[in-house]
Chains A and B, each alone.
Chain A
C-alpha cells in the first residue's frame, strides 16, 4: 500500500490507526509526544471519529484508556518512561482486569537522558505487572508490533506495553502500511466481575493471570520478533541483543572475522527455550541490550548449565547511557574505526538555554532579586523549560525531582523549619500534579510561596495546548483553599521587574501560603498565532 516517511512515534501511531483504534489519550513527554500529535493531525485531516486527546497527566490518561476498553473499543495511551511511574497504579492493576477492547500502552524510554531525569527501563514494569511487552527495533516493527499488540491484548485480555526509545521515536524511515482494519466494537464488557479490583475478585484474577503466564511464554517463544540465528561452526561466543542493540550489532558484523550465533529478543516474557538453544551452541554469551540489563539478569536462572555471561553487569557493555554502533564494539572484540581528528579536542559545550525573550527569564530575575538579601531561602522547581533556570547566569533553582514535586518539597522544607521557601512550577506541570500538593499546603496554611509560571502552553515538549486556559488557573488555586488576599498575578516583562520583585518579596515575607501567578505567553505560541 502506502510507503510513508515517518518518525518511529508516527509509525507506532499509524500501527494503532490501522489496528482500528478508537481513542488515544496521553500526556506530552519527550520522546513520546509525537504519537498523540500525529493522531490529532490524522483525526483532523482524515478521520474525525478518531479521538486523540491530551489529558491532565499519565494516570488520568491511562484510566481513560481503561474506560474505553471496558466500553468495548480499542484504546492507546502514550507517555514517556517516567510518566509510567505516575500511571503505575492504574497500569499494574489493569493487568488484573479482563481487558475487553484492546488496550495498548506506548511508553518511550530515554536511555542517555536526552530530555529526562533518569533512564529507567519500562520492560521491568511490564514484567512487574505480568503482561506482554513488545520492543520494536525499527520503524516497520513499531508499526507491525503495535497492530499485533492490539490483537494480543484482546486475545489474552491483558494490557500490552509497546516500548520505544528516543533514538527510534525520533528517527525517520519509510514504512509499508498493511490493509487497515475498521474500528472495532466488542460491546461493553459482559462480566463486571472481571472489572472490579476487590480483594476477593483480585485473588481469583491474580491466580488467572499467573496461570496465563505459560501462554504468554508460548506466544513469545513462537514470535518471529524473537529471532534465533545459529552458526554452528563458530562456538566461541553467542550474542543476545534487544531493542536497538540488535541494530548496532548488525552494523558491526562486516568487521567480524566470524559471525556469531545471535538471538534477538523483541517480545517479552523472554523466550527461555530460544535462550537455552543459543546457550547449547556457544561457549559464552554476550548480551547487548538497550536499557537496563533486564535479559542479562535472567539468563543464569534460565540455564541449567553454567555458562559465562558478559554484558552490562560486568561492564563489557557500557551500563549507562544509550548504546551506539561504537560503544558495542569492544564487547565484540573490535577496535575503534579509523576516523578524522583535530589536534585540540576541547570545545566549549553548548547546553540548552531559555530562549531570548522567554518570560521565565523575567520571572527568575525578579525572584533572584527578591531573595538576594534574605538570610536564608529555598527555591524548589519542577519539570519543564524553566528547569533551565538552574543554569548560569540565572542559577535560580535548587531542586528538581519529578512532575509536581516543587510544591510538596516546598511544603516539607517549610514544615522542617526553613524560612522563605519558594516553589516554582509551570502551568501544565501544576495541572499535571501540582494541584494536589497545593491542597496539602492550603490545608495547613503552610508558610511558603508558590510561583506558577503560566506561559499558556506545554512548552518544553513543543507547545501542546494546556487543558485549562490561563484565566481558570486562578479559580483552581482559590478552590484549593488559598486565601484570595495572597493570590497575586504578575505580568512578567523586563519593564515590570521592580514591581514584580516587590510583590514576590511581600508574599515571601507573609507567614502563610501565597500563590503568585506569573503570566506571559511563551514566545513560540505568539509566533504560532501570527
Chain B
C-alpha cells in the first residue's frame, strides 16, 4: 500500500452492471479514511444498456474538477473488457487497468474477445480477473462488482474495517447473508490477480 495523496479512478461498464454500486462502496470507505471525494456519475439514457463511466477522485486536499483529466487516472476499473479499453487515454503513463474478463455482449459488432484481451495485456499495467468465477466462490454470481471492489481496494490505502463498514451501510437492509457474500467477494477480489 503506498501513501499517495490523490487517487483518480475511472469506473466503466454497461448500464445495469452495477458501476454505481462499486463507486458507492469505494467512496464510502474512502470518506471513513478521511479522504475528500468527488464522484461523477451517469444517470438517464445511457443507463439503458449503454456504455457508462463514473469518474471517482479521492484526495487528501481540495478537488476542483468533477471530471478526471485525460492522462491523470491511476486506475481504470471495468466491469467488462471492451468498456475498459474505451477510457485508456485517461490513464497515466504508469496507470493500471483492472477488468473483469467476461464480455457483456449486447451489441452486434462486439469484437473477438481474444483481440480485446490482447490489447489489454499489451498495456504497461493490467490485470484481467475472472470475477464471475470468484463471485460464485464468494456465494453469488451477482457479487461480481464486489470482487472488483476488492481488486481495486488492495491498491488503495483503505482499511478492511472501512470497506466492511461501507458494505454494511449499503447492504444491511438486504440482510446479513448479502452483506456476508459481498464481504467474501471483496476478499476474493483482493486475493486475485
Contact = CB atoms under 8 A, between A and B. Distances in A.
A385 B110 CA distance: 24
B93 A31 contact: no
A439 interface: no
A462 B43 contact: yes
Contacts of B45: 30, 114-115, 352, 388, 460
Interface residues of B, number: 52
Contact of B67 (A33, A174, A324, A352): A324
A200 interface: no
Contact of B38 (A172, A339, A355): A172
A354 interface: yes
Given A337-B70, A340-B91, A347 B44 contact: no
Contact of B41 (A172, A244, A326): A172
Contact of A171 (B41, B70, B119): B41
Contacts of B90: 339
B27 A5 contact: yes
B2 interface: no
B172 interface: no
A306 interface: no
B36 A251 contact: no
Given A30-B44, A115-B45, A167 B38 contact: no
Interface stretch (B79-87, B138-146, B151-159): B79-87
Given A339-B90, A340-B88, A31 B43 contact: yes
A191 interface: no
Interface in A273-288: none
Scoring A247, A251, A340 by chain B CB atoms within 10 A of each residue's CB, the highest score goes to A340
Nearest to B43: A170
Contact of A351 (B44, B50, B123): B50
Contacts of A340: 71, 88-89, 91-93, 95, 123-124
A244 B70 contact: no
Interface string A142-175: 0000000000000000000000000110111110
A353 B50 contact: yes
B14 A336 contact: no
A350 B111 CA distance: 12
Interface band, chain A:
35 or more
B110 A348 contact: yes
B193 interface: no
A350 B31 CA distance: 33
Interface string A443-470: 0000000000000000011100000000
A179 interface: no
B31 to A, nearest CB: 6
A524 B169 CA distance: 24
Contact of B44 (A115, A244, A336, A337): A115
A79 to B, nearest CB: 14
B65 A353 contact: no
Contacts of B28: 5
Contacts of A297: none
24 contacts: A5-B31, A34-B43, A115-B44, A168-B66, A173-B38, A173-B63, A174-B31, A244-B66, A247-B65, A251-B64, A324-B67, A336-B71, A339-B72, A340-B91, A341-B88, A341-B89, A342-B122, A347-B111, A352-B15, A352-B50, A355-B49, A460-B45, A460-B48, A462-B43
Query: 4 nearest interchain CB pairs?
Result: A339-B71, A337-B71, A115-B44, A352-B50
Given A339-B90, A353-B50, 6 more contacts: A5-B31, A168-B66, A172-B27, A172-B37, A326-B69, A340-B123
